[in-house]
Amino acid sequence: MDNRYTRGLAEFASGLTYEAIPPEVRERLKLLILDALGCALYGAQLEWCRLLRETLLQVETGGICAVWGTRDWLSAPHAALANGTQVHGFELDDVHRAGVLHVGAVVLPALIAVAELKDGLSGKEFLAAAAAGYETGPRVGLCMGPEHIGQGWHSGATVGVFAAAASSSRALNLDVTRTVHALGIAGTQSAGLMAAQYGAMVKRMHAGRSSQSGLYGALLAERGFTGIEDVFESEYGGFCTTFSRSTDRFDLTKLTAGLGTTWQTMGVALKFYACVGSNHTTLDALHTLKSEHAFRAEDVDTITVHGSQVTADHVGWKYEPRGLTAAQLNLPFCVATFLLEGDCFVDQFDAAAVTDPRRMALAERVSVHADPAITALGAKHRHSVRVEVLLKNGTRLSRSADTPRGSDENFASPAGIVAKFEKLAAHALPAKRVGELRDAVLGLEDLQDAARLAALMSQ
């Protein structure tokens, strides 16, 4: 059996040590973890997270893993499902743009559940396990390319199972062979349909389900349960051939390229708008144009956004008021929200926002077009846009943006990330606890038991 790529990922995850992670990657990873936990704590209060939690509590008793930001406890797999849903619950969580997935939402719920199951998982071991997941997930996304989400798969969920499996396997100290099986078990559970973006609550649950599937993969493999050993390479029914519907629209070499030298963790971006990542470059471009030309929403005649084919398909559809999910994913509606409300964060999205006639009317004058030249630039530039604003007085404004605030060379400052975390976490925890959690994450290497993170997030 030729499973060199599956095994290569397993060898990396199984053998990764804290010491092998460059210091700058460790520091970035702690900030990413902090951001994800803040998102989860804010998510605890959301209706869809509450409904999911109540349903899970109806079907089980005696859980030993915390549901973050609540007084509830569930089994490890159900806690991963609930907590992953909370991380991704309000479009606030991180995104690896080229790999097209939200990494923290799939890695951390499974990993912290393992920490609660396993006595004495140190902070250093926790960071090594987290890095295994943060490095694995984006590589699977890079292998599949932006066409994967373009075909209608919710890539964060479909490729996220491998990130969760890799991190959970490393935390459980699985050897290479069992990690191979964990990846194979996770892969066959891969799922997630992008039609959920048009208003369904279930879109929020995809990350949690992915985290849960990866956790199942590691826990089962630990017991000797076997999975698909060539889950990426198999020509019939393998992950790559099946999800791409081809034998060549993927690149297996990207699964292991640069392992241990090129750190995909550094490519994970953070969000400072409460909407899907595909919308952020447009909002940044508009922010710049407004600061330069001081126009108001009522001055706008039309706005045209030129972007990649994936961006046009993913967020450029005609807005219909089907719920907050649709509001936060639709680019014209988010543009209208930003121009009318002055921001696009949590306070701008409540139940009333969905049917706001002012926003809906302005969104009608925003159009999104696929630009073949931008599409041809590839996955790294899938969020590149050129925004053209026509004002009612005839003035034409234009601005391009390739990378939004919080990503790549525009990565946020530690102070900005801490401020976002504290603002979000305050919705679930008292100030003293928020500070203790912040300090625990930023000092993870000093923690004797990473389960402390779960305890700090429990009410």
Residue 380 has what pLDDT?
84
Q: Which residues pair with 73 in a beta bridge?
A: 66
Region 418-430: what's the mean pLDDT? Answer: 98
Which pLDDT score, from 0 to 100, does residue 153 have?
97
Task: Give the per-residue pLDDT at 77.
Answer: 98
pLDDT digits (tens, 9 = 90+) for 329-340: 999 999 999 999
Residue 455 pLDDT? 98
Mean pLDDT taken over the chain:
97
User: What pLDDT, in 10s, does the model give residues 343-382?
Assistant: 999 999 999 999 999 999 999 999 999 999 999 999 889 8
Please tell me the predicted confidence (pLDDT) of residue 379: 86
Give me the percent of the chain exceeding a pLDDT of 90. Answer: 97
What pLDDT does 238 receive? 98
Q: What is the pLDDT of residues 160-196, one digit of tens each?
A: 999 999 999 999 999 999 999 999 999 999 999 999 9
Residue 219: predicted pLDDT: 98
By C-alpha distance, which of 105, 186, 111, 95 is closest to 149? 95
Distance CA 323, CA 330 (A): 11
**Rounded percentage of the chain residues whose pLDDT exceeds 70:** 100
Tell me what pLDDT residue 345 has.
Answer: 97
Using the predicted structure, report yes or no on whether residue 409 has a pLDDT greater than 80.
Answer: no
pLDDT number for residue 272:
95
Q: How confident is the model at residue 25 (pLDDT cuts 50, 70, 90)?
A: very high
408 pLDDT more than 80: no
What pLDDT score does 195 carry? 97
CB 36 within 8 A of CB 271: no
pLDDT tens-digit series, residues 35-59? 999 999 999 999 999 999 999 999 9
Mean pLDDT, residues 207-219: 98
What is the distance, to the nearest Å, from the Cα of residue 398 to the centroid of all Cα atoms in its chain? 30
**pLDDT 10s digits, 286-316:** 999 999 999 999 999 999 999 999 999 999 9
Chain segment 82-137, per-residue pLDDT in tens: 999 999 999 999 999 999 999 999 999 999 999 999 989 999 999 999 999 999 99
